[in-house]
Amino acid sequence: MSGRFAGRRVVVTGSSRGIGAGIAERMAAEGADVVLTARTLEQHDHLQGSLQETAARLARYGTRVGIVVADLVDESDRARVIPEAAEFLGGHVEILVNNAAASIQKPLEGFSVKRRNIMFEANANAPLDLSLATLPAMRDAGEGWIVNVSSDSSKLWPGPPAEFSPTSINISAYGASKAALNRLSNGLAMEVYGTGIRVNTVQPRAAVLSEGAAELVGNMLRPDQIESMEAMVEGAVFLCDCPADFTGQITVSLDNIENFGLTVHNLDGTPQ
């Protein structure tokens, strides 16, 4: 495996399981010091995975691994994440991966404002606030990487009478929150262009069956509608060391792999 991220200071949100845990492991495998953050320190009520389990997997790579337990829906709670991470890492956050998300899937009709607000707080406001918290130090350093994990559900449908897939009728609110994330990412990239800070989003082309996704839609998908965790991570990690002029982009994991000739690796950094 390479030492591509040797000594880099990284924060990955939503890293108790799923895509976040995969990205965190791959970064540690390539030499990064990583701070993990999520709500679940020890055990979730019904989903597998926790911050302690992710930290235990990362420990074998010999880099520094820290944990910040935080509920990113809570504005005061998320305000702690970047300062506490920087204190543990012994320096400012150089790479921020905003992966944490809330996915509440219901039709818009009858969808409560409270639930909509939870998704927009987790999926749009929290990534923006964390990104803004990293900017001063990144600007002083003349470089930084912010990667926001989005979703294909952010795309518009052509409208009636287009057919719905079995899950589509439930994802309008979630998709709207991810569309907001894409727009915020693009706008922030424009604002900081020229400082060396890159801001991009990445989304899977097909479903990645993380623990949460498998529970929600796993039994509704055909094999051709599923993307491997390793491919998604490869497409995301590419954005964690992209050049300064690659910014403001809304990217797709498999497109990154194809367009830039990337080799998909296992989460421990070895080629597949």
Q: Which of 198, 157, 210, 151 is nearest to 19 (CA)?
A: 210
Q: Which of 147, 174, 248, 252 is catalytic?
A: 174
C-alpha dist (Å) from residue 27 to 56, 72, 129, 270 = 14, 22, 23, 12
**DSSP class of residue 271?**
B
Q: Are 96 and 138 in contact (CB under 8 A)?
A: no
Active site residue 174: yes
* Residues recorded for the chain: 272
Backbone angles phi, psi at 223, to 5 degrees: -55, -35
| Surface-to-core class of residue 25, CB atoms within 10 Å of its CB (0-12 exposed, 13-18 middle, 19+ buried) | buried
> Please, what is the Cα angle at 122 between 54 and 117, to 5 degrees?
150
Q: Which residues are catalytic?
A: 174
